[in-house]
Amino acid sequence: MQEQSVIFFDIDGTLLNSKKELPISTKESIFKLKELGHVVAIATGRAPFMFEDLRKELDIHTYVSYNGQYVVLNGEVIYTNPLNINTLEKLTEEALQNDHPVVFMDHEDMKANVPHHPYIKESIETLKISHFPTHDPHYYKGRELYQSLLFCPVGEEIQYEQKYDDFDFVRWHPVSVDILPKGGSKAKGIERIAKRLGVSPERIYAFGDGLNDVEMLSTVQNSVAMGNGEELVKEAAKFVTKSVEEDGIRHGLEMVGLL
């Protein structure tokens, strides 16, 4: 029997294809990993409420969400890293003047600071989730937020990057950018879980395809980039598998010897 490993999977473009569907080969591979005694986990930029159905379908209870800011092990929250609310308030005031809406996100919900905006609709709809942000401009007050979304065209986030040192900005859509606590990443969330489980670095694996996966794939010893991933992502990974549309998860797991 193989020694137990922990395998982290990104969601969009990794577990799910471009239509936000879970390939049959991927689902079968996940359950095969579990049968072999491995720990299967998710590492995503999504909020916990954005992939609850997927966790149920795959029977997964360990995950790194919000790009490392909200970490859960076997259903228990083991680490949180909230945004600096004072700084976020200042950024939001400036963004409002620039017609750049902001969505505030905690572990349970997300609220927009404007009632409607085409950028919010355009980007959130690509996730194909049932949850859509409703309007509450004061949602940030009196609660911990683990990520926010800034909606602006490519290049216009630079003005915020230069001014707000408490945050990292990671683009995930042509009109939307993740706002994260400075230095927060999937890699750090994975580190928390590995430490709790007492798993050695050589038994940790990670699969991803997006720019928010670069640090994870360059840090984790056994890293696999999806064939549909961006070039920077492939350069960061130790292995490159086929695309998610070509049974890339199963192929990658076979490539690294887990299946």
- The residues assigned a catalytic role are 10
Segments making up each domain of the chain, as ranges: 6-80+184-255, 85-181
Q: How far is CA 155 from CA 37, 99, 152, 160, 187, in A?
A: 45, 15, 8, 10, 26
How far apart, in whole angstroms, are the C-alpha atoms of residue 193 and residue 7?
11
| CATH class in words for 6-80+184-255 | alpha beta
Give the residues across from 71 on adjacent strands: 64, 79
- pLDDT one-digit tens code per residue, 98-139: 999 999 999 999 999 999 999 999 999 988 888 899 999 999
Pairing of strands 204-208, 6-9: parallel
pLDDT band at 1 (very low <50, low <70, confident <90, very high): low
pLDDT in tens, 185-198: 999 999 999 999 99
Give per-residue pLDDT as tens, 57-88: 999 999 999 999 999 999 999 999 999 999 99
Task: List the CATH code of the domain at 85-181.
Answer: 3.30.1240.10
Residue 208, pLDDT above cutoff 80? yes
Could you tell me which residues are beta bridge partners of residue 6? 39, 204
Alpha helices in the chain, H assignment, sequence order: 24-35, 52-58, 85-97, 118-125, 158-161, 186-197, 214-219, 231-236, 248-255
Non-local (6+) Cβ contacts of 26 within 8 A are 15, 244, 247, 249, 250
